[in-house]
Structures are given as structure tokens and as C-alpha cells.
Structure 1
Amino acid sequence: MDTLKNGRWQKELKVLHLAGFKSVKACRTRLNPDWFSLIIVLSGTIYFMDGTSTVSLYRGDMYAVPRTAEVIKLTSSVRVCFMSCKRDFAITNRFSRSGIGYIEVLAGYLPSVISLTQTEMSYLIQVFGFLKKKISSRDSIFQEEMVLLYVNLILYEFSALCYKHSENITAVHYRREKIVMGFMTLVRQHCRVHHEVSFYANSLYISRGYLGKAVRQIIGMPLKQYIEMAIVSEAYVLLEDKTLAINKIGEHLNFRNPQSFSNFFKKHTKLTPTQYRHNLKF
């Protein structure tokens, strides 16, 4: 198992390339339900149990492992490419700051199993190989930048495949799924102004408790966390506009004062808005 040697990231990203799992237990130790985990099966078969459903992964399958899924069986011939990272890590370090649709993929809402073509699989294996090489590098002065580049490339390729795949699926929306879809749409439209959970529950004419249960069941995270991730995403967009003063950005995002905005942003990104803007390459 390779992890980033840089202390800032060493606990937030794990990668395997052309590797096998020796046992179900070994596989389970790699899968933190609170992280975003992505597997490409290169050979063999892996079986997951998600609720009452069994998910079978064969050669060429790419799987975003839901937090509710657990591996139950695998063949001895299994080889995979595997990447797992904290969701906040992926959100904070993504290169494109426009909109929050990316969050929906990381939340695990879109189709999670994709059958890759041979061309798609070969390309992604190559990218995983580049990522592993950069993580293991000892002499690259741009190691951190290159690691983030390949992590982003993998996540955006997966996002694009999700949307492409979902176009060919006839979705069956149960009540909770409809509620969560409505919630995500409202967050996309109103997160700059409305930070409180009650606004979204009232807009959907349901209780906060019911909305919270639905969101946690479908996308695997608390309501407040999803809203805050969306606010941070919008803050990225505004901070890239150098004509906007940081105190004005706080006002645009409906924080009561500049310090409140700064504290919120630093909590989620480890940087103040000023530090983040200073690090941007315009």
C-alpha cells in the first residue's frame, strides 16, 4: 500500500496499482466507509453486499464503493487498481471550482458500477500507474502538484463516465431518492444564501429528521456536511475573482461578518481565504 509521504496528505489518500487482495479481511481493511473509494477490477471477481443486494464486480468493472457496502467474497485471481481518499480531500483539492455537481459524484449518488471499454480501462490503468509512481517518488520537486493532478484526472474521468452511463439508464426514483434529488437541487440553487438545514426541509415540506435520514441513506453523509461542502465550493469560485474583496465574498455567502467567513473557510480547507487566494496562480 502506498501513501503520500508528505505529512499533510499521508492520512488522506491510499492507492494500489495492479495489485491483489489476499483475503476478504485484507480488502475490508482498505475500505473506510467514510472515504471515497474507487476500484477497477483487472482480473478475477469481487462480491459486495449492499443492504440486501449483491454486487458482483468482474474484469473491466469500475466501482465507487458505497459506504453501506461490504466485501463478502473474492477470487484468488483478483487484481485491481484502487484509490481511496477523504471526501474533503477531493473537494478541497479539485482543480475546477465551477459549480458543485462534482460533489454529487463524490457523495456516491450517481451510478456506482460502470463497465469500462477496453480503451477506457487501459487509459485509467495508465493514469493509476502515473499516480503510484509519483506517490513513490523520492526526487520530484513537484511531487505534491503531480499527485494532485493525477488524483483529479482519475476523479474527473470517473465523473464523466458516471454522467455518460446515467444517460443510458432508466432511473426508478423512490420517495427518498426524489427527496434527495430535490435537496441537492435546492442546495445548488440556494447554498450561497441559505446555510440552515431548516430552509431545505421546509422547502421540501418534510421534517428535518426525515430529510436527514434520507440524505444519509442515499448519499452517506449528514445534511450539514453536504451543505457546507457546497458553500466551500462556491467560496472557491468567488475567491478566484480578484475584483471581489474577501469581506464582500463573505457577504455574498451570507456570513454575519468577515471573521465568521474566515473561520468557516479555514475549518474546511486548513487555509484562510486570504492564504487560499495568495496561493492561486492567476
Structure 2
Amino acid sequence: MSTIESLEEFYQNKFDFLPDNLQKDMGHFNVFKLEDCLGDDKPPMNYSRRDFYKIALNRGHNIYHYADKSVEINGTALMFFNPQVPYTWELASGNIADVRGYFCIFTEAFFNEKMRGHIGDLPMFALGGKPAYVLDQQQDQLISSVFEKMLEEINSDYIYKYDLLRNYTTEITHFALKSNPSEALYKHPDANSRITAVFTELLERQFPIENTSQRFTMRSAKDYARQLSVHVNHLNRAIKETTGRTTTHYISERLLSEAKALLKHTDWNIAEIGYCLGFEEPTHFNNFFKKLTNHTPTSFRIV
């Protein structure tokens, strides 16, 4: 079953501690050697979503399961993972002790406060994108050297080290943008995961709401089942099995998240926001919001 691993759970599972900078307003960033996070005393990596971005350089014969794709790579792979899509990897052959590499994790706020646009719009992080890049020996050395600089910088006392770390991460993404992602698809993790991944992509395509003429229209499980050409009961079972939530709950949570963002970050009136989110009457929006938050949209806005 797919769950969402938080930053706190990541650190507790891998290292049994929480870093001091976990809650900084500037966002969070950290970098690791892969071998330091593996071993018999470490819990296995579950097929799940995370609430942070991840870039990994892995060496060996491995299979990467990512949304509706599985990529088998024997060599060095540069992988990009976003918070919207569940993923995991498994050892295809050899010994786990032979696995070597690096990875960095970071929150959306770490980048979006300092860059134009949205990091999730980059092709390697976009929903439905291709996250795997196979590297030759020279490329492996190049990216490894950037990760080594990250490891050195994260432990320094340099006052602007996070700006430098942001630049190193950007350097890796630009390297990937100039390269060709792997097309070596292996198999779907399972049918339920595939359906859930495509459903999630359809849902996310409708956000963010950027102007009052834009409207969220696919509000029911039947709408998505129709688009996916599956029976609504089949869709509901797949999403329940994969996420632990009902389809209606999943849609409502995303709708509520967008409603909160619009209430806090726009000057649109309540009727406009409700209409954009697919509610025909302001009272319907008020009832929806109050049921899930115990606040009216107006009272939430002024808190």
C-alpha cells in the first residue's frame, strides 16, 4: 500500500534523529552517501510517495519502480523523484553491500523561494516524465564530483552554503536536461499502482488555479473513470488499495488544499473561489470547507 513518507519519518527510519534545520522557513536540503543508508539494520524502502524531492546517483544492477514505470539499469543511473509519485528500487543482482552512490533530498520551498517558475515543471520532475538517466564512466565521475562538493559544503560553516548547494543541485538538473532519459521500461509495479498514478496525474493537471476564469471540473470518481476507460468501482478499489483513501477523499483533500491556497494568497471573493473549484453556489463551497476544517472560508482567510 502506498503511503506518504514525511521528512521526519525519513530521518527516524534511516538515522534515528532529526536535524536542527528541519523546520527552517528557507526549506530543507540534505545530501548523503547511499551506502550510509543501507544495511541489515535499516528498514527496506517501501513503494510510496515522499513529501520531498530526491535526486539519486546509484551504481549497480537495479530496478527502479516509479509510478507506472519500472526501469532496469545495469550500471550507473541518475534518478529524479518528485513528491507526487510513489517510487522504490530493488537490487536486481549482487550484494546490497556493493551498492554505492549518492542522493540529496530537498523540499519545494528550498527551491521555489529562489527561482522563477516551479521546480515541479522541469521535465525530469513533471508528472508523466521520464526520471531515469543512464551515465557512462565519464558522466558518472562528473556527477559524483558534484555530489562530493555537496557533502563537503553541507558540513561547512560557510554562511551562504545553501545558496551554493542550490547551485550544485541546479547543475545536476541542467546536466540531465541536456541528456536523454532512459527508455528501458521493465514492467508496471502492479495494475493498481498504474491506475492510481494516472489518476493522480489527471487530478494534478487541473492545478494550480491561476485566474478566475479557470475551473476545476473533474470532481467525481466517475469523471476520472470515464477518462481512464475503467469502471468506477475498479478505480475506487485501485486507489483504496494503493493509497488507503477513497477516491472521493483523495479528490476532496486536493480540492481543500487548493481552496486554502486561494483563500490565503489571492484577493478573490469567496464566490469566485468557490466557482473556480467547481461549486455552483457559494453555500455549497462554504459547506464543503466547513465540513473538512470546522471553519468557514471567511474565518479561515482572516486567521
Give the TM-score normalised by the residue count of structure 2.
0.51
Residue among 245, 263, 278 paired with 2:267: 245
Structure 1 position 105 matched with structure 2 position 122: no
Residue among 19, 25, 30 paired with 2:40: 25
- Cα displacement (A) at 1:113: 3.6
Structure 1 position 165 matched with structure 2 position 187: no
Aligned to 1:82: 103
Aligned to 1:211: 235
Residue 201 of structure 1 aligns with an amino acid whose one-letter code is Y
Aligned to 1:268: none
Contact 1:3-1:15 within 8 A present in 2 as well: no
Aligned to 2:205: 188
Contact 2:62-2:73 within 8 A present in 1 as well: yes
Between Structure 1 and Structure 2, which shows a larger proportion of helix residues?
A: 1
State how far apart, in whole Å, the 2-side matches of 1:121 and 1:4 are: 29
Spell out, residue by residue over 1:156-175, the C-alpha distance to the aligned partner (whole angstroms, 9 max, x if none).
4587479x426x67999998
Q: Superposition pairs for residues 46-65 of structure 1, below 5 Å?
A: 46-48=61-63, 57-63=73-79
Contact 2:35-2:101 within 8 A present in 1 as well: yes
- Cα displacement (A) at 1:80: 0.6
Structure 1 position 16 matched with structure 2 position 32: yes
Contact 1:39-1:64 within 8 A present in 2 as well: yes
Aligned to 2:57: 40
Spell out, residue by residue over 1:193-246, the C-alpha distance to the aligned partner (whole angstroms, 9 max, x if none).
24734364254254555335556889x796666886699689989999xxx625
Q: Label 1:221 to 1:179 Cα distance change in 2 as closer, same or farther (>3 A).
A: closer
Give % identity.
12
- Cα displacement (A) at 1:62: 2.3
Give the TM-score normalised by the residue count of structure 1.
0.53
Residue among 201, 206, 209 paired with 2:224: 201
Aligned to 2:21: 6
Q: Structure 1: where are the runs of 5+ without partners?
A: 265-271, 276-282
| SS of structure 2 residue aligned to 1:114 | strand
State how far apart, in whole Å, the 2-side matches of 1:154 and 1:231 are: 35
State how far apart, in whole Å, the 1-side matches of 2:119 and 2:256 are: 10
- Cα displacement (A) at 1:188: 1.4
Residue 58 of structure 2 aligns with an amino acid whose one-letter code is V
Spell out, residue by residue over 1:144-165, the C-alpha distance to the aligned partner (whole angstroms, 9 max, x if none).
5555x25862784587479x42
Q: Label 1:94 to 1:203 Cα distance change in 2 as closer, same or farther (>3 A).
A: farther
State how far apart, in whole Å, the 2-side matches of 1:20 and 1:61 are: 15
State how far apart, in whole Å, the 2-side matches of 1:273 and 1:157 are: 39
Contact 1:13-1:84 within 8 A present in 2 as well: yes
Q: Label 1:55 to 1:186 Cα distance change in 2 as closer, same or farther (>3 A).
A: closer
State how far apart, in whole Å, the 2-side matches of 1:273 and 1:41 are: 45
| SS of structure 2 residue aligned to 1:165 | coil
Q: Label 1:83 to 1:225 Cα distance change in 2 as closer, same or farther (>3 A).
A: farther
- Cα displacement (A) at 1:116: 1.8
Aligned to 1:67: 87
Q: Superposition pairs for residues 218-257 of structure 1, below 5 Å?
A: 245=267, 247=269, 250=273, 253-254=276-277, 256=285
Spell out, residue by residue over 1:27-83, the C-alpha distance to the aligned partner (whole angstroms, 9 max, x if none).
x548464435543135xx254586xx9976544222458635444753644421123
Structure 1 position 153 matched with structure 2 position 153: no
Q: Label 1:100 to 1:217 Cα distance change in 2 as closer, same or farther (>3 A).
A: farther
Spell out, residue by residue over 1:90-136, the C-alpha distance to the aligned partner (whole angstroms, 9 max, x if none).
4x5443545965598376x5445421245543443343234333432
Contact 2:71-2:184 within 8 A present in 1 as well: no
Contact 1:21-1:78 within 8 A present in 2 as well: no
Q: Structure 2: where are the runs of 5+ without partners?
A: 1-14, 210-215, 280-284, 294-299
Contact 1:197-1:208 within 8 A present in 2 as well: no
Residue 154 of structure 2 aligns with an amino acid whose one-letter code is I
State how far apart, in whole Å, the 2-side matches of 1:155 and 1:197 are: 39
State how far apart, in whole Å, the 2-side matches of 1:117 and 1:231 are: 45
Aligned to 2:140: 121
